Homo-oligomer: A and B are copies of this chain.
Amino acid sequence: MGYTIGQIAQALGAEAFGALDIQVHGVAEPTTASATDLALATNPKYAAGLAQGQARAAMLWPGADWQGLGLQAAIIAPRPRFAMAGLSAMMDQGQGFGTGIHPSAVIDPSAELAGDVCVGPLAVIGAGARIGAGSVIGPQCFIGAGAQLGAQAYLREGVRIGARVRIGARFIAQPGAVVGGDGFSFVTPEPSNIEQVRSSLGDQGAVKNQSYARIHSLGGVEIGDDVELGANACIDRGTVRDTRIGNGVKFDNLAQIGHNVVIGNDCLICAQVGVAGSTQIGNNVVLGGQTGVSDNLFIGDNVITGGATKVLANVPAGRVMLGYPAMKMDAHIDTYKALRRLPRLAQQVAELRRVVFKSSDNT
């Protein structure tokens, strides 16, 4: 797991200075770095920390005076944050799931595992499932009947993939993630109070109480390449058509994607986000943590929502949104500044009314 400074710089396409043969075994913050760590000081504010730690080599910000910082070697990347992607991949110790197929795994004889697939202890792989080359199916995972996983999937412990789900290459899933749960779709024999409220915007009218009948999910889930799914996150099956996720979409922990949802490419769906059924989301969208999106909406390309934004209506492409209900971010900031002054504004209006109407009433 050790690399020289020269090897690292070459792998990252970064510049290297000084003793390129110094070998490091990990990365660390400057103050806690040992002599065999590469310290990360990619911003001048971390410079002082280098003297407190033991690092001989560091990744520094462009223009840094590595010798003046007392280092023997340095790596300088034009965009250090991006360099962290490659560096962290090199230094990742992994989960130590082992290799090969653990004898305690329960694999249906009709499942097709490509070469170099690892299956952890107590995993279950159903009939007709297909797992691409180089994939790692972690301990206690479940792969349903007829499900497909592309090459180089990496499933942490306890991931659950339902029957007939189809997933592209390089899929990563964190512990407890679920793909292919049944959609939440119920119907009453006669129109329900929800249907009434939706059409009237708030009036239930004469309510008739009814029990719900279940609409089974017949659709599946289709997921593109390079998708990552967070711990205990959920993506439901479609009702008739598939729920569809594009390429390069990253979901954080506890995110929830309802039935029939369509998400484009290269989106970030942060933790605890919920997207309700049949909503369509474009490309390069970022939904901040705890964002909620109602059902049957259209969210355009490049939309960004701030944390906890609650989207109750369509959002055109390129908008930056915040709040509940969601507004454009700049309007939200203006509005909430005014909101904080609202109690005083109300006093001013009362005062104006007293003067203008010579009235002391408080109505």
Hey, which bits of chain A sit against chain B, CB under 8 A?
Answer: 26-29, 32, 40, 79, 81-82, 84-86, 88-89, 91-96, 98, 102, 104, 106, 120-122, 124, 126-127, 139-140, 142, 144-146, 156-158, 160, 162-164, 172, 174-176, 178, 180-182, 184, 186-191, 193-194, 197, 201-204, 207, 209-218, 226, 228, 230-232, 234, 236, 239-241, 247-248, 250, 252-254, 256, 258, 265-266, 268, 270-272, 274, 276, 283-284, 286, 289-290, 292, 294, 302, 304, 306-308, 310, 312, 318, 320, 323-325, 327-331, 333-343, 345-346, 348-349, 352-353, 355-357
Contact = CB atoms under 8 A, between A and B. Distances in A.
A43 B271 CA distance: 36
A288 to B, nearest CB: 8
A266 B212 contact: yes
30 contacts: A40-B240, A82-B213, A85-B214, A88-B218, A89-B216, A95-B162, A104-B106, A140-B140, A142-B158, A142-B175, A156-B182, A174-B182, A181-B253, A193-B284, A193-B304, A194-B304, A197-B304, A197-B329, A204-B318, A207-B318, A209-B266, A210-B284, A211-B247, A214-B228, A327-B340, A337-B343, A338-B345, A348-B349, A348-B353, A352-B353
A329 B197 CA distance: 10
A184 B308 CA distance: 17
Contacts of A258: 252, 271
B209 A302 contact: yes
Nearest to A96: B145
A186 B268 contact: yes
> What number of copies of this chain does the assembly contain?
3
A216 B92 contact: yes
Contacts of A343: 334-335, 337-338
Given A88-B215, A202-B320, A181 B193 contact: no
Given A207-B284, A214-B89, A248-B212, A329 B157 contact: no
A173 to B, nearest CB: 10
Contact of A162 (B81, B175, B284): B175
B274 A271 contact: yes
Contacts of A188: 82
Contact of A181 (B89, B156, B186): B156
Contacts of A302: 193, 204, 207, 209
A51 to B, nearest CB: 18
